[in-house]
Chain A
Amino acid sequence: MKKQLLAVAVAALACVAAQADTLAKVKSSGVITMGVRDSSGALSYTLGDGKYAGFHYEVCQRIIGNVEKAVGRKVDVKLQSVTSQNRIPLVQNGTVDIECGSTTNNAARQKDVSFVLTTFVEEVRIAAKVASGITSITQLANKNVATTTGTTSVQLLRKHERANGVDFKEVFGKDHADSFLLLESGRADAFVMDGQILAGNIATAKNPADYRIVGEVLSVEPIAIMIRKDDPAFKKLADDTVRDMVRSGDMAKVYDKWFVQPIPPKNTKVGLEASEATKTAWANLNDKPAEDYAKK
């Protein structure tokens, strides 16, 4: 908590100093800073020991590979762990050059930062115990529904309650592991969260067969790699890298590697095939914000 506040405060002071031309900065300094997440499912997570891995981590490495070609020198990659509280200020003020986590591309954030073409589309789903017989959100009225503090799912549930006149008894976990524990211990009947996070938690649960992801897709959000605003050269380079990966079929292969095959450190499987929404995003590459997805 304290650390995050401090980061926000420092960011506020340093905001003015942000440099817009990332490629020029990397060329002169020979260093690029990559923002990573400690536990954003298989998108970006830590292996311990200051090492990171994940789907977006790997996509970013490809982008940085192309940065090296563009600036014509070997580039040192510095890793900076970020949180959902400090990631935007850190990108804005130049501490982080490219953020490879699980950031939703939405209109409010587009005022502050820029996003590379959408590489992953997140679907908010419901996880429940198989034994509970819950199969749809309509069965959750007056039930205990767990979700994690500091995520958009909290707001989503609130809006759903208002729009449909139903009442959930929300219980909030302080992180995803905590929320899953609420479901596991019976304090909650369902856990509403991003599909890949649910899948990851179920995969590492004591008895994965006891849980399943059920019901309709509650919300669709484009997740993308985040870079500084108004930096067309860097954005074009990153976009082209993503485009090439999709065209060559590498994108699907890398996805498969992180979401379908066993992944380190425990060799568990997330077991989440690319959704129709993700495949559509690859077929029509774009950097539209979440609001455009909601309209459909």
Chain B
Amino acid sequence: MTWDWQVFLTDDGSGRTYLEWMLEAWRWTLAVAASSWVVAIAVGAVVGTVRTLPGRPVLVALGNAWVELFRNIPLLVQIFLWYFVVPKIFPAFQQVPGFVLVVFALGFFTSARIAEQVRAGIQSLPKGQSYAAMAMGFTTAQSYRYVILPMAFRIILPPLTSESMNLLKNSSVAFAVSIAELTMFAMQAQEETSRGIEIYIAVTGLYALSAFAVNRVFAQIEKRMRVPGFIVSGGTGGH
């Protein structure tokens, strides 16, 4: 077995090298992951919060339904449904570009998991916190905004880090709807060049690098947002 890293500098038939193609594919992976992350966080935060609202059983039920729907169907199946089945029922969907579709599919899938974390974060706070907010005369909205959510989000930062790294790796399913991202590059380029091992090593490296970068960013956020004296661990929710 001999290595042939020169393969990255050869022309792929359209005037660019495989290296240029791979970097372009990396950009697609990052673009899909970043856009779906925005969708996932926005939807996940809202749905997760809604599921803990006191005295709103309909909203809570809707939130629960959202979570169960999107986390009980395998991701690849969801993408397939959006891509092939939904346009059968609503022909207008045919016009939606694959990128938008995969961003929402991936975003919704992850939002269900984030919603679950947000709910857990909120419910892990001692009851005393919301009672204190009520005693201050806060409305429900105010107590969430100023008391509950700031604490809850700090608590869930570690699982949110893992979830964001997962999202980046899950973006590999985008190849199924014709997005030219890293996984598609790997499958295609290894066929064209017959140098599968070199190609897969490089692609694996880029995935690992990207996921680790996400990890470092979150570690920084965690450090900056830390409230002195507030200790997350410990059953008493102590402060």
Query: Which A positions have Cβ atoms within 8 angstroms of B?
Result: 1, 5, 8-9, 12, 15-16, 84-85, 88-89, 108-109, 112, 149-152, 154-155, 158-159, 161-162, 170-174, 178, 181, 185-187
Q: Cβ of B1 and Cβ of A15 under 8 Å apart?
A: yes
Among A16, A149, A178: residue with most chain B CB under 10 A:
A149
Nearest to B187 among chain A residues (CB) is A150
Q: How far is the CB of A155 from chain B (nearest CB, A)?
A: 5
Q: How far is the CB of B25 from chain A (nearest CB, A)?
A: 12
Residue interface mask B85-105, A partner, CB < 8 A = 1: 001100000100010000000
Chain A residue numbers with a CB within 8 Å of B175 are 149, 172, 174
| A–B complex contacts, Cβ < 8 Å, 28 sampled | A1-B183, A8-B196, A12-B1, A15-B1, A84-B191, A85-B190, A88-B194, A89-B196, A89-B197, A109-B194, A149-B175, A149-B187, A151-B191, A152-B191, A155-B12, A155-B188, A158-B12, A161-B14, A170-B178, A171-B178, A172-B175, A172-B180, A172-B184, A174-B175, A174-B176, A185-B94, A186-B94, A187-B87
Q: Cβ of B178 and Cβ of A158 under 8 Å apart?
A: no
- Select one of B13, B87, B172 contacting A159, CB under 8 A: B13
Q: Cβ of A155 and Cβ of B94 under 8 Å apart?
A: no
Q: Cβ of B13 and Cβ of A155 under 8 Å apart?
A: yes
Chain B residue numbers with a CB within 8 Å of A84 are 191
With known contacts A155-B13, A158-B12, A162-B13, A12–B191 Cβ distance under 8 A: no
Chain B residue numbers with a CB within 8 Å of A161 are 14
Q: How far is the CB of A176 from chain B (nearest CB, A)?
A: 14
Among A12, A152, A155: residue with most chain B CB under 10 A:
A155
**In the complex, B5 has a CB within 8 A of chain A:** no
Chain B residue numbers with a CB within 8 Å of A150 are 187-188, 190-191
With known contacts A1-B183, A5-B200, A185–B88 Cβ distance under 8 A: yes
Secondary structure type dominating chain A contacts: helix
Chain A residue numbers with a CB within 8 Å of B196 are 8, 85, 89
Q: How far is the CB of A214 from chain B (nearest CB, A)?
A: 23
Distance in angstroms between the alpha carbons of A181 and B83 in the assembled complex: 11
Distance in angstroms between the alpha carbons of A278 and B223 in the assembled complex: 68
**In the complex, B230 has a CB within 8 A of chain A:** no
Residue interface mask B164-206, A partner, CB < 8 A = 1: 0000000010011010100110011011111011001000000
**In the complex, B212 has a CB within 8 A of chain A:** no
Distance in angstroms between the alpha carbons of A15 and B1 in the assembled complex: 6
With known contacts A109-B194, A149-B187, A174-B175, A187–B14 Cβ distance under 8 A: no
**In the complex, B146 has a CB within 8 A of chain A:** no
**In the complex, B84 has a CB within 8 A of chain A:** yes
**In the complex, B234 has a CB within 8 A of chain A:** no
Q: How far is the CB of B42 from chain A (nearest CB, A)?
A: 29
**In the complex, B228 has a CB within 8 A of chain A:** no
**In the complex, B15 has a CB within 8 A of chain A:** yes
Q: Cβ of A178 and Cβ of B194 under 8 Å apart?
A: no
Chain B residue numbers with a CB within 8 Å of A9 are 197
Nearest to B194 among chain A residues (CB) is A108
Distance in angstroms between the alpha carbons of A17 and B192 in the assembled complex: 26
Q: How far is the CB of B106 from chain A (nearest CB, A)?
A: 16
Chain B residue numbers with a CB within 8 Å of A85 are 187, 190-191, 196
Distance in angstroms between the alpha carbons of A245 and B14 in the assembled complex: 42
Distance in angstroms between the alpha carbons of A16 and B14 in the assembled complex: 35
Distance in angstroms between the alpha carbons of A174 and B190 in the assembled complex: 15
Chain A residue numbers with a CB within 8 Å of B1 are 12, 15-16
